[in-house]
Each structure stands twice: as structure tokens, then as C-alpha cells.
Amino acid sequence: MLDLFVGNRNYSSWSMRIGVLLRAFDISYKETLLPFGTDGIGEGSRFKEQSLAISPTGTVPILRDSGCLTASGEALVLYDTLSIVEYVAERFPDQSIWPRDQALRAMARNLCAEMHSGFGALRSHCPMNIGADLHREGAIIWRDQPNVRRDVVRLDTAWENARTLSRGPFLCGKDFGAVDAYFAPVVMRLKYYSLPVSDGCRAYMDQICNVPAVQDWIASAIKEAEFLEFEEPFRLAP
């Protein structure tokens, strides 16, 4: 039995990656929300106490597999999105979580690794906030933050090259895969901050937003209707 622990759906981009991936491949799991609270997510917060009780890092997402026991007899616990993706792909080999083609599989892993450690300016200046109208803030960020513009240009180039090589419409072929789940939160940033993108980039964003698993995540995020000031650098509480 897989247990997935996630943070608030509208704010937690890391949680979105794995939640969307499991839903897209119809993998059975139990989802538990570890909500961010008004006391934040740092040391001493309720969120940190709850997450540290499950994993040593106190971050989300967390995947626990009670069907895979460690040498000490405890359920396997994974807390890094790359390791979770690799484990799920190994656990469910019949699913095309990674492309079957070797070259495309390597490209998908390479793009995931770049997303995992890169695009810091975009992630920092445009925190994910699903459902929020942030187009005015996006325009100011675009004007004043050259590193954000560089990140978006790199995204555009990477997506266009991948879709051309794989003959799209997804990054590594005709089917949604782990690499697309990895970039889904970035699509949310581009969408809700209304950042300028090329037609090709927009086409890929539309492709991602039409994936049922992504649509389900967006609907759940909007339904949460949470407003946490520490996650809201641009809006005032309603």
C-alpha cells in the first residue's frame, strides 16, 4: 500500500509533481494532506512536527510503501521527488513512467534533473499559487527580473527541443510521463503569472493543462481556498 503525504495543493509545487504522476498512471495510493499552517513550515511549526514524524527531512512530498520493508522491518519512506519517481517506475515496470526508448529516457531524466536543481529565479520570484490572478505581478517581475526572463527562455528552448526530437506533443513523445509531471508546477507559474511565452511554449502548457490528472489537481487546489500570508508575497488576505 502506497501512502503519499502532500502539502497544500495550491502552494506545494513539489507535492504536485508526485500527486499528478500517480494520478496520471492510475496508481493506487492513499493521500494525506499535511497542511501548511499560519505558523509557517519552519522549525517548531505544526507542519514540521507532523512531517518529521514521517521522514527525517520534514518536507513534502513523502511516499511510504508498507509493502516494502527495510532491514529493520519498517515501511520504506522516500522524501525526494527524483527518488520517488525512480522508485515508482521500478515498482510499476509495466507503466511507461519513463520512455521505453533509451535516448528519450535519458533525455527525460536529464530534463528532470535540470528542473530539480535549476530555474531558481523563476521559482523564487514566482511561487506557485494555483487559481490566483497574478498577471500584474507577473508583468512587473518580467520587467524587473532578468534572471526570470532567462529562465523562461531556457524553458522555452528545452521544451521546444524535446518536443521536436520526440515528435511530441509531450516532452518525450506522444504520452504523458514523469518529465511532464516534473514541469507541471512550472506550467502553473507561467499560467497564473501570465508570463510571456512563445506559441510553442503555450501549446505545451495547454497540453499539460488538459491532462485529467493535472485538471484534478488544479480543481482540488482551488477548492482548498486556503490563504496563508507567508505564501502570499503579492496578495492581501480576503
Please report the DSSP string for 39-65 in residue order: TBSSTTSHHHHHHHTT-SS--S-EEEE
Domain limits at 59?
Answer: 2-91
Are 97 and 180 contacting, i.e. CB atoms less than 8 angstroms apart? no
Q: How many domains does the chain have?
A: 2
Q: Do 83 and 107 lie in a common domain?
A: no
Per-residue pLDDT band at 236 (split at 50, 70, 90): confident
| Biggest CA-to-CA distance, the chain | 54
On whether residue 237 sits in a domain, the answer given is no
Q: Do 114 and 162 lie in a common domain?
A: yes
238: pLDDT strictly greater than 80: no
Task: Please write the tens of the pLDDT for every residue from 65-75.
Answer: 999 999 999 99
In Å, how far are 31, 117, 190, 195 from 224, measured between CA atoms? 15, 29, 21, 25
Q: Give the integer Cα–Cα distance in Å for 40 and 57.
A: 16
Cα–Cα–Cα angle for 234, 7, 51, rounded to 5 degrees: 125
Task: Please write the tens of the pLDDT for every residue from 139-155.
Answer: 999 999 999 999 999 99
Per-residue pLDDT band at 4 (split at 50, 70, 90): very high
Q: Do 46 and 111 lie in a common domain?
A: no
With b meaning 16 or more CB within 10 Å and e meaning fewer, what string describes 2-21? bbbbbbbbbbbbbbbbbbbb
On whether residue 41 sits in a domain, the answer given is yes
Domain stops at, among 68, 91, 114: 91
Q: Do 144 and 187 lie in a common domain?
A: yes
Q: Do 43 and 110 lie in a common domain?
A: no
Contacting residues for 225 by C-beta, under 8 A, at least 6 apart: none
Q: Do 66 and 163 lie in a common domain?
A: no
Q: Do 81 and 113 lie in a common domain?
A: no
226: pLDDT strictly greater than 90: no
- Is the alpha carbon torsion for 5, 9, 11, 13 positive or negative? positive
Which CATH number fits the domain that encloses residue 17? 3.40.30.10
- Is the alpha carbon torsion for 49, 63, 117, 151 positive or negative? negative
On whether residue 236 sits in a domain, the answer given is no
Domain stops at, among 50, 71, 91: 91
Which CATH number fits the domain that encloses residue 138? 1.20.1050.10
Domain stops at, among 91, 119, 141: 91
Are 80 and 87 contacting, i.e. CB atoms less than 8 angstroms apart? no
Q: How far is CA 77 from the centre of its chain?
A: 19
